[in-house]
């Protein structure tokens, strides 16, 4: 399927701007550019309440932003989605994914807890995983304090955030707690190295490039030994059984497409319930483009419906 015309227009505008790729910048410059790019494309929406809290983490406090869709009825507790933002473990923030969290909270009628985990290269692997698990554990223990139901928990994220969601789902299974009802995985990066056919086919000209992906991983990983750690590359995990049901969304023109498909297959082979949806005319990052791309709105709606069902 060809590129969606709305995506073609965005790619053309990015090319016309002639901005450097992320790998050509310092991490701080890349973060600033990403914030600017995302802010122009997101779908703006009000929400009943959002608040930030500082919670204990393995290396100091972690900031989380908690979204509440509406005033609860007497005695009502909302399901909770713990959300991990994307950005290659190097860029991205609570602000870049604020819109997505608002949309998911409103359409699912759940609390969304967005996690400001530590970024590379200041904090190498597995710092992001450690923070992500600590945040999930905190939510499971303290959900009732912000009107959440600790017995109805899901994890989710996009790209690197989906990677973190998969990792904490496996770690929670192994620990026996907390019990998770669902995984929402938006174009997850789960392979040890960017060497699938889609990485080569769509590695140039579709906003996310192979050079940028390689740069992200070089900044995040400590050494090649980390490539064999399932907390970075869930596809290398020996056991993927007994994991929560999952919705995996991939984009047809995304370098990460094939590894998302491969992970869905591995989960299904291990006996898990998985729905895999390919947005064929889309590119990596489209989920955040609801202000300009109709398919992004459909993807959010589909995600929210799957969360409600779970």
Q: Supply the residues annotated as catalytic.
A: 159, 254, 284
The CA–CA distances, whole Å, from 126 to 43, 89, 129 equal: 32, 10, 5
User: Which residue is it, tokens 């202000």?
Assistant: 291
Tokens of 147: 């009107």
State the SS3 of the chain: CCCCHHHHHHHHHHHHHCCCCHHHCCHHHHHHHHHHHHHCCCCCCCCCEEEEEEECCECECEEEEEEECCCCCCCCCEEEEEEECCCCCCCCCCCCCHHHHHHHHHHHCCEEEEEECCCCCCCCCCHHHHHHHHHHHHHHHHHHHHCEEEEEEEEEEECHHHHHHHHHHHHHHHHCCCCCCEEEEECCCCCCCCCCHHHHHCCCCCCCCHHHHHHHHHHHCCCHHHHHCCCCCHHHCCCCCCCCCEEEEEECCCCCHHHHHHHHHHHHHCCCCEEEEEECCCCCCHHHCCCCCHHHHHHHHHHHHHHHHC
Give CA–CA dist 301/116, Å, rounded.
24
């Amino acid at each position: 399927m060809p590129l969606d015309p709305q995506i073609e227009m965005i790619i053309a505008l990015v090319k016309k701007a002639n901005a450097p790729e992320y790998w050509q910048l310092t991490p701080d410059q890349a973060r600033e550019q990403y914030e600017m790019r995302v802010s122009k494309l997101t779908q703006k929406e009000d929400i009943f309440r959002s608040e930030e809290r500082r919670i204990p983490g393995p290396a100091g406090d972690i900031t989380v932003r908690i979204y509440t869709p509406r005033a609860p009825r007497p005695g009502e507790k909302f399901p909770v989605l713990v959300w991990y933002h994307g950005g290659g473990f190097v860029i991205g923030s609570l602000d870049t994914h604020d819109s997505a969290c608002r949309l998911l909270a409103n359409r699912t009628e759940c609390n969304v807890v967005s996690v400001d985990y530590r970024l590379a290269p200041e904090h190498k692997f597995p710092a992001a995983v450690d923070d992500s698990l600590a945040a999930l554990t905190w939510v499971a223990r303290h959900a009732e304090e912000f009107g959440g139901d600790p017995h109805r928990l899901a994890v989710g994220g996009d790209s690197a955030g989906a990677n973190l969601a998969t990792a904490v789902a496996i770690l929670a299974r192994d620990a026996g707690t907390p019990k998770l009802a669902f995984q929402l995985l938006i174009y997850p990066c789960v392979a040890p190295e960017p060497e699938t056919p889609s990485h080569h086919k769509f590695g140039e000209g579709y906003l996310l490039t192979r050079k940028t992906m390689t740069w992200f991983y070089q900044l995040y990983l400590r050494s090649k030994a980390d490539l064999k750690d399932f907390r970075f590359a869930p596809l290398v995990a020996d056991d993927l059984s007994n994991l929560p049901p999952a919705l995996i969304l991939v984009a047809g023109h995304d370098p990460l497409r094939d590894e998302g498909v491969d992970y869905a297959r591995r989960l299904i082979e291990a006996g898990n319930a998985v729905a895999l949806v390919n947005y064929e005319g889309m590119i990596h990052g489209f989920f955040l483009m609801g202000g300009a791309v109709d398919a992004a709105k459909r993807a959010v709606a589909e995600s929210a419906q799957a969360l409600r069902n779970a």
